[in-house]
Amino acid sequence: MRVITDIGFWGLGVVAVAAGAAVFYVDSMARATYALAVSFIAVGVQVLFLQQNYVGVVTILMMVMEMAIMAVYMVMFMGMNPALVPMSMVHSNKAALGVAAATFLFLAAGILLVDWPERTGSPPPDVTRALGEALMGPKMLVMAVISPVMVATIVAAVVLAAHRTRYDRFGDDLKRHTPDDAQPGGVGR
């Protein structure tokens, strides 16, 4: 059983890394997005292997939805289809490869050389229930802080991305009598 778990875990790791590399290798933007989704799903299942059911499932569900939306954005933002007109969309490729390889070697050396401590404590019998009780009890402040931050993000993202808002039409103090529109509308035109 343990061998099967190990093989599954390593296999998922290979899938996660390979799909991550495919993001920057494939030509089509949509394919790149779905490669990233595959990488996230593989990591989500690995988190399930590590007995954190809630976190793993949340990661998978959220990333599948996020990548579905992202695929639309990717197509929107690309002026042309790189799958039809192959071209290089990278800069300082060799330096980037060098930095990435050096980072991996540095991290791997640390991971293999550090004398990791023994596990302290034992996992709760129901990990998801323990997380829920932590969030609803002593760690509630964390979620209470994240909530307004998320609302602020929604507002800020809409303000940044909106094409024309009421401030463009009625001035910064919203006191302009007639809106400043490219094509005036209404009865009294």
Partner 1 sequence: MTLEATLLIAAAIFSVGLYGAISQQVVVMVMMGLELMINAVILAAAGVWWFLAPQPTGQVLIMVIIAAMTLEMAMGFAVATLLHREHGVDMTDMATDLTQ
Q: Which of residues 126-165 bind partner 1 (CB under 8 A)?
A: 127, 130-131, 133-135, 138-139, 142-143, 146, 149-150, 153-154, 156-158, 160-161, 163
Q: Which is nearer to partner 1, 83 or 156 (CB)?
A: 156
- Cα separation, 53 vs 132, in Å, equals 12
Q: Phi and psi dihedrals of 123, rounded to 5? A: -65, 145
- Cα separation, 95 vs 92, in Å, equals 5
Residues 31-90 binding partner 1 (CB under 8 A) are 32-33, 36, 39-40, 43, 46-47, 49-52, 54-56, 58-59, 62, 66, 70, 73-74, 77-79, 89-90
Token look-up 């030509």 returns 27
**Considering CB under 8 A, how many residues would be counted as binding partner 1?**
84
Residues 106-125 binding partner 1 (CB under 8 A) are 107-108, 111-112, 116-117, 119-124
Q: Phi and psi dihedrals of 78, rounded to 5? A: -85, 125
In terms of phi and psi (left: phi > 0; alpha: psi -120 to 50; beta: otherwise), the region of 52 is beta
Please give the structure tokens belonging to residue 175.
């006191």
Q: Which is nearer to partner 1, 49 or 167 (CB)?
A: 49
What is the nearest approach in angstroms of partner 1 to the Cβ of residue 164?
10
Q: Which is nearer to partner 1, 111 or 182 (CB)?
A: 111
How many residues does the structure list for the chain?
189
